[in-house]
């Protein structure tokens, strides 16, 4: 018989439903059938049958029984991880369907790092909102280290932040964006404005330094500089508006992506100092979870953030 006549194997049809997976998650979270049943508002016998149905469909036990407590075994932990992913996707589908039925176009839960919040988000969000006025967008700002865990749990659809490949979590898909050199900014009346050019990094570091939380890649570079200069920030804040306000009122200098500092300079709020030093550039990237599909609205906003920047 030729290969053309061979039929592909039929996919195995699951003999369980999403509710069985929800029951599995509840039993794991509460530790006992009684606690999970109370949380789910079903009888303990119904919950027992549901777990037995799931185990029967999979052909293996998922729990080790220890008195009244149920503890997941090795297979149980594997199934739990898959179940949580499936339930997140199912909840997203349900939510988007409800929003569509209500005449809304969807929802995007976006996490942004402090650099992106000012350098990329305003223009991208403006274009997206103009094209998709019915979409609800919720933006959560924070350091990359605080946003990635929320991305992994499904609290955020995707994140845009400084995140080098060496920092990457194995479940995180990293899509690099255009790199941005790091610059130094100061008040327009700062003493360094009157200093002889070109300026050195050592000159800038004689003054207090403020910056956003640096990713691990930048922190490692700061620890291993060969010239002995140490960039120890006296003020760390993930809101550049706050940092620039401090710079305007003091002799503090600010470190940040050059493109963003130039925007503040164009608005007359600070001056970009001609300091040259071989720092690693900002490496913004779109972060998503491998294998987790995004809704149409989230895909649309992601495209706007990935679009080349003007100028």
Q: Domains plus CATH for the chain?
A: 18-97 (1.10.10.10), 105-178+284-306 (3.40.190.10), 182-273 (3.40.190.10)
Q: Is the pLDDT of residue 76 over 70?
A: yes
pLDDT of residue 149: 94
Average pLDDT, the chain: 85
The closest of 87, 58, 51, 56 to 75, measured between CA atoms, is: 58
Q: Cα(19)–Cα(56) distance, rounded to whole angstroms?
A: 15
142 to 110, 158, 187, 216, 257: CA distances (angstroms): 11, 13, 25, 15, 17
| 90 has pLDDT over 80 | yes
26 has a pLDDT exceeding 90: yes
Local confidence band at 277 (pLDDT 50, 70, 90 cut-offs): low
Whether 13 shows a pLDDT value over 60: the answer reads no
Q: Does pTM surpass 0.85?
A: no
Tell me the average pLDDT across 244-251: 97
User: Distances from the Cα of 105 to the Cαs of 101, 131, 138, 295, in angstroms?
Assistant: 9, 11, 14, 10
Q: What is the pLDDT of residue 83?
A: 93
- Over the stretch 92-148, which tens digit does the pLDDT of each residue have? 788 777 766 554 567 899 999 887 777 788 889 999 999 888 888 999 998 888 999
Per-residue HEC secondary structure of 31-46 comes to CEHHHHHHHHCCCHHH
Q: Residue by residue, what is the 3-state secondary structure of 9-25? A: CCCCCCCCCHHHHHHHH
CA–CA dist 283, 294 (Å, integer): 23
pLDDT for 164: 67
**Average of per-residue pLDDT across 5-21:** 67
Burial of 294 (0-12, 13-18, 19+ CB in 10 A): middle
Q: At what angle do helices 44-58 and 18-30 cross, to 10 degrees?
A: 110
In the sheet that holds 235-236, the strands lie side by side as 235-236, 209-211, 253-257, 182-186, 271-273
Instruction: Say whether pLDDT at 10 is over 60.
Output: no
The listed range with the strongest mean pLDDT (164-173, 229-238, 242-251) is 242-251
- In the predicted model, is pLDDT for residue 258 greater than 80? yes
Between 163 and 37, name the one with better pLDDT: 37
Position 179 pLDDT exceeds 90 = no
The number of CA neighbours under 13 Å toward the Cβ of 147 is 30
* Cβ pair 118, 285 in contact under 8 A: no
How would residue 307 be classed by pLDDT, with cut points 50, 70 and 90?
confident
Measured CA to CA, the distance from residue 31 to residue 136 in angstroms comes to 37
- pLDDT of res. 228: 53
Please tell me whether residue 138 adopts helix, strand or coil conformation.
strand
Residue 91: which pLDDT band, with cuts at 50, 70 and 90?
Answer: confident
Task: Please check the confidence at residue 232 and state whether its pLDDT lies above 80.
Answer: no
């Amino acid at each position: 018989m030729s290969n053309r006549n061979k039929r592909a194997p039929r996919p195995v049809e699951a003999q369980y439903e999403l509710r069985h997976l929800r029951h599995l998650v509840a039993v794991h979270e509460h530790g006992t059938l009684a606690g999970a049943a109370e949380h789910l508002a079903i009888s303990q016998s119904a919950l027992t049958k549901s777990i037995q149905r799931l185990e029967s469909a999979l052909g293996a036990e998922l729990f080790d029984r220890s008195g009244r407590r149920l503890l997941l075994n090795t297979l149980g932990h594997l199934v739990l991880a898959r179940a949580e992913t499936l339930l997140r996707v199912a909840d997203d589908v349900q939510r988007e369907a409800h929003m569509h039925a209500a005449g809304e176009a969807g929802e995007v839960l976006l996490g942004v790092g402090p650099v992106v919040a000012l350098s990329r988000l305003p223009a991208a969000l403006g274009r997206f909102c103009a094209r998709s006025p019915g979409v609800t967008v919720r933006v959560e700002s924070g350091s990359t280290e605080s946003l990635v865990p929320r991305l992994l749990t499904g609290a955020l659809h995707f994140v845009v932040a400084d995140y080098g490949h060496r920092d990457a979590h194995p479940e995180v898909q990293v899509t690099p964006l255009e790199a941005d050199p790091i610059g130094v900014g100061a008040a327009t009346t700062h003493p360094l404005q009157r200093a002889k050019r070109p300026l050195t990094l050592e000159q800038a570091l004689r003054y207090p330094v403020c910056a956003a939380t640096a990713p691990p890649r930048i922190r490692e570079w700061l620890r291993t500089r060969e010239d002995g200069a140490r960039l120890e920030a006296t003020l760390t804040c993930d809101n550049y508006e706050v940092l620039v306000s401090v710079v305007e009122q003091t002799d503090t200098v600010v470190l940040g992506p050059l493109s963003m500092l130039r925007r503040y300079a164009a608005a007359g709020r600070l001056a970009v100092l001609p300091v040259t030093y071989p720092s690693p550039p900002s490496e913004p990237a779109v972060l998503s979870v491998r294998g987790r599909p995004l809704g149409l609205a989230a895909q649309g906003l992601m495209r706007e953030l990935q679009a080349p920047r003007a100028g």
